[in-house]
């Protein structure tokens, strides 16, 4: 539809393009997805890549999931022309992993190619993504599905480069530069990211609101795509499509 901005979806750590056909509440809106490249080693480089994917768009909304959320956030701090809204799901403004053991496991994956990556690293990673609610969704999910997602879409080099990018990123001091309405979409259960990451973004982004989706986990975009898309649609209708129902709050 010509009077609506294009929804540009940015993939998670796996790099896999979104299954847009599952986002049925957004079916009447213009949608665009992408596959993340393997080579970048920084969030800024990924933001540069997404900028290239925006070619030809005059108006758009960035929707980033997990790793894609910090890429979307980084791009939004640049205040690019045409950006009208921002959705960050399961995301963070700086490395949120406070578990020493989990950090060691992910870091170790950067040095374990081949069978060790496929059999060890990806099993650890899938376990960290898991939630007791994963099987309740429109698309029942489990640890095996998460591991399969990475096996099919994420070469070891991409995993290593994205881990390096995520662990070195810190956009907390730049959150105040984001100048568009922002939805922070949070699952109820997320041991990988944790609730503090969403709080930091909600308090740091001038015009942000948070919505927690009950009985969902970190992989809720995969397991609960209809509920996820419905939350995005409601945000767009309230904050981006012309109706400004929520007051603008400026920090400081």
CB 7 within 8 A of CB 34: no
* pLDDT at residue number 113: 78
**Local mean pLDDT, 10-residue blocks, the chain (252 residues):** 85 97 96 97 98 96 98 98 97 77 61 84 93 95 98 96 93 97 97 90 97 97 97 96 51 40
CB 197 within 8 A of CB 96: yes
Domain count for the chain, please give it. Answer: 1
* pLDDT at residue number 242: 73
133 burial (CB, 10 Å; 0-12 / 13-18 / 19+) is: buried
Six-digit token string for 138: 């429109």
CATH of the domain at 111: 3.40.50.1820
Which pTM does this prediction carry?
0.90
* pLDDT at residue number 30: 96
CB 226 within 8 A of CB 213: no
Domain that holds residue 44: 1-252
Q: Which helix (H) or strand (E) holds 227?
A: helix 225-235
* pLDDT at residue number 100: 57
* pLDDT at residue number 111: 64
Beta strands in the chain (DSSP E): 6-10, 31-32, 60-65, 83-89, 182-189, 208-217
């Amino acid at each position: 539809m010509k009077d609506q901005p294009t929804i540009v979806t940015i993939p998670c750590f796996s790099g896999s393009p979104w299954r847009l056909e599952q986002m049925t509440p957004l079916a009447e809106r213009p949608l665009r997805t992408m596959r993340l490249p393997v080579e970048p080693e920084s969030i800024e480089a990924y933001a540069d890549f997404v900028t290239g994917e925006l070619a030809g768009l005059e108006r758009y909304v960035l929707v980033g999931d997990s790793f894609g959320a910090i890429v979307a956030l980084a791009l939004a701090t640049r205040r690019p022309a045409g950006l009208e809204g921002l959705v960050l799901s399961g995301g963070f403004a700086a490395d949120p992993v406070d578990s020493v053991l989990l950090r060691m496991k992910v870091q170790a994956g950067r040095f374990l190619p081949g069978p060790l990556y496929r059999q060890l690293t990806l099993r650890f990673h899938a376990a960290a993504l898991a939630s007791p609610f994963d099987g309740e969704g429109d698309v029942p999910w489990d640890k095996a599905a998460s591991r399969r997602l990475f096996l099919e879409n994420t070469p070891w080099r991409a995993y290593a480069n994205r881990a390096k990018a995520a662990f070195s990123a810190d956009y907390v001091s730049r959150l105040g530069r984001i100048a568009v309405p922002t939805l922070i979409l949070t699952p109820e259960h997320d041991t990988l990211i944790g609730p503090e990451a969403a709080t930091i973004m909600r308090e740091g982004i001038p015009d942000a609101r948070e919505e927690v989706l009950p009985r969902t986990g970190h992989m809720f975009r995969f397991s609960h795509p209809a509920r996820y898309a419905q939350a995005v649609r409601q945000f767009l209708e309230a904050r981006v499509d012309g109706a400004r129902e929520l007051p603008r709050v400026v920090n400081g």
